[in-house]
């Protein structure tokens, strides 16, 4: 194993020793395989390559100050994958199988779990693909489910720092009754152009408004949005956004910290009233928001007063991280402790 510079890891791909797989054929899932092979043998007519039968997930495992390894909320990822499977007419992976594979792949790659002090984590990427060769538009009969892992650093270069975003009106990420609330590849392909334009203009990411009325905040890049005002955590309720496990957890932590929580439509104009705001997701936990520009309307919503993350974002972030690291009690059974001594 090449020496890894844990402190300077990017959110990218570094090979590890093993991945785990299983295959679906004739209506049932195979035994779980452990492999060192990073390649997937795939037929050129496989349905995932043409008609987008691909579902994925993202979760993290941490090496903690008490020496233990913890995986965060993996049952919730299993359940979200099941909902994506139902939407894309793919066979579901049971929560039991998902968790068994997640634990196994982390254990097999224990030496790639970054040390606590580095602030990095082991990212798990489960993916499910339809593999049946066909050119007709219909669900595949065969599937492969894989979980690989890779050590990752912060999603944003500056780590926990406030970033600028831009509202994109000329692009939608997903339609209200489309696949926006599922974690499938097509949603991301459809967001790359808007993301590219935003990044080239110097923004950390793009904001999507609801596709139907272009009035309400949907998502920011591949993350959910929340705003804080009057001791209240406000986050959009929309059929076209991914139900973020980080957002769900932050809502619970906000309640525990004595904030109110509102999940409802958030009109663009309301951005002017937030005292703090953030983008949230597994990769960054919270990426605090400094400013959001609406270029077409020539508007700028300055959220942070001093260009820095606000105190409530900081408190939410610290509490969240402390639960992941086993420093604060796991009151809701979010954490799975693995028996790894390495």
Name the site residues for ligand PLP (rule: CB under 6 A). Answer: 58, 219, 222-224, 242, 244-247, 281-282
Q: Counting contacts by CB under 6 A, is residue 129 touching ligand COI?
A: no
Q: Counting contacts by CB under 6 A, is residue 282 touching ligand COI?
A: yes
Chosen from ligand PLP, ligand COI, none, partner binding at 163 (C-beta under 5 to 8 Å by type): none
Taking each helix axis from N to C end, the angle separating 74-87 and 95-108, rounded to the nearest 10 degrees, works out to 130
Q: How far is the CB of 138 from ligand PLP (least distance, A)?
A: 27
**CA torsion sign, 200 to 314 to 63 to 331?**
negative
> How would DSSP label each residue in 91-145?
PPPPHHHHHHHHHHHHHHTGGGSPPGGGT-EEEEEEEEEE--B-SSSS--S-EEE
Chosen from ligand PLP, ligand COI, none, partner binding at 219 (C-beta under 5 to 8 Å by type): ligand PLP
Q: How far is the CB of 152 from ligand COI (least distance, A)?
A: 9
Calculate the alpha carbon distances from 190 to 201, 203, 252 in Å.
19, 18, 31
Looking at residues 206 to 235 of the shown chain, list those that interact with ligand COI (rule: CB under 6 A). 222-223
Q: How far is the CB of 74 from ligand PLP (least distance, A)?
A: 11
**CA torsion sign, 135 to 138 to 143 to 146?**
positive
Q: Do the beta carbons of residue 55 and residue 183 sit within 8 Å?
A: yes
Residue 170 CB neighbour total at 10 angstroms = 8
Chosen from ligand COI, ligand PLP, none, partner binding at 140 (C-beta under 5 to 8 Å by type): none
Q: How far is the CB of 160 from ligand COI (least distance, A)?
A: 14
CB-wise, 238 or 246, nearer to ligand PLP?
246
- Beta strands per DSSP E along 161-314: 163-168, 205-209, 217-220, 224-229, 232-236, 260-264, 276-281, 285-294, 299-302
- Both tokens of 209, joined, read 């408004």
Chosen from ligand PLP, ligand COI, none, partner binding at 268 (C-beta under 5 to 8 Å by type): none
Q: Counting contacts by CB under 6 A, is residue 278 touching ligand COI?
A: no
Question: Which residue among 183, 212, 248, 305 is the active-site one?
Answer: 183
Residue 111 is a catalytic residue = no
Q: Counting contacts by CB under 6 A, is residue 122 touching ligand COI?
A: no
Q: Do the beta carbons of residue 303 and residue 290 sit within 8 Å?
A: yes
Q: Do the beta carbons of residue 321 and residue 192 sit within 8 Å?
A: no
CB-wise, 150 or 282, nearer to ligand COI?
282
Chosen from ligand PLP, ligand COI, none, partner binding at 319 (C-beta under 5 to 8 Å by type): none
Piece of the chain touching ligand COI by CB under 6 A; list 140-148, 172-180, 211-219, 282-290: 282-290
Q: Counting contacts by CB under 6 A, is residue 146 touching ligand COI?
A: no
Q: How far is the CB of 271 from ligand PLP (least distance, A)?
A: 18
Calculate the alpha carbon distances from 193 to 67, 111, 223 in Å.
42, 37, 16
Q: Counting contacts by CB under 6 A, is residue 174 touching ligand COI?
A: no
Q: Counting contacts by CB under 6 A, is residue 283 touching ligand COI?
A: yes
Calculate the alpha carbon distances from 247 to 19, 179, 242, 243, 270 in Å.
28, 19, 10, 8, 19
Residues assigned a catalytic role: 183
Q: Which chain residues interact with ligand COI by CB under 6 A? A: 58, 222-223, 281-284
């Amino acid at each position: 194993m090449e020496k890894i510079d844990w402190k300077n890891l990017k959110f990218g791909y570094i090979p590890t020793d093993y991945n785990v797989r299983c295959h679906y054929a004739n209506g049932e899932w195979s035994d779980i395989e452990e492999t060192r092979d990073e390649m997937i043998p795939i037929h050129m007519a496989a349905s995932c390559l043409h008609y987008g039968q691909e579902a994925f997930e993202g979760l993290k495992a941490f090496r903690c100050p008490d020496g233990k390894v913890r995986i965060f909320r993996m049952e919730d990822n299993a359940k979200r994958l099941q909902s994506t499977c139902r939407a894309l007419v793919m066979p579901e992976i049971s929560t039991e199988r998902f968790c068994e594979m997640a634990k196994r792949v982390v254990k097999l790659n224990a030496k790639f779990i970054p040390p606590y002090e580095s602030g990095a984590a082991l990212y798990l990427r489960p993916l499910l693909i339809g593999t049946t060769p066909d050119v007709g538009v219909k669900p595949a009969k065969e599937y492969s489910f894989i979980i690989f892992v890779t050590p990752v650093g912060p999603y944003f270069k500056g780590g926990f720092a406030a970033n600028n975003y831009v509202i994109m009106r000329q692009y939608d990420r997903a339609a209200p009754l489309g696949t926006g609330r599922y974690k499938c590849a097509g949603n991301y392909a459809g967001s790359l152009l808007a993301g590219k334009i935003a990044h080239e203009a110097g923004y950390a990411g793009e904001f999507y408004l609801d596709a139907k009325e272009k009035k309400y905040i949907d998502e920011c890049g591949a993350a959910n949005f929340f705003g804080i005002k009057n001791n209240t955590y406000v986050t959009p309720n929309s059929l076209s956004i991914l139900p973020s496990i980080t957002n769900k957890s932050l809502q619970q932590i906000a309640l525990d910290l004595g904030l109110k929580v509102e999940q409802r439509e958030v009109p663009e104009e309301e951005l002017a009233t937030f005292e703090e705001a953030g983008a949230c997701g597994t990769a960054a936990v919270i990426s605090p928001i400094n400013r959001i520009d609406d270029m077409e309307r020539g508007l700028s919503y300055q959220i942070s007063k001093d260009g820095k993350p606000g105190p409530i974002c900081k408190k939410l972030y610290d509490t969240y991280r402390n639960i992941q690291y086993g420093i604060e009690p796991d009151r809701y059974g979010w954490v799975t402790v693995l028996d790894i001594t390495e």
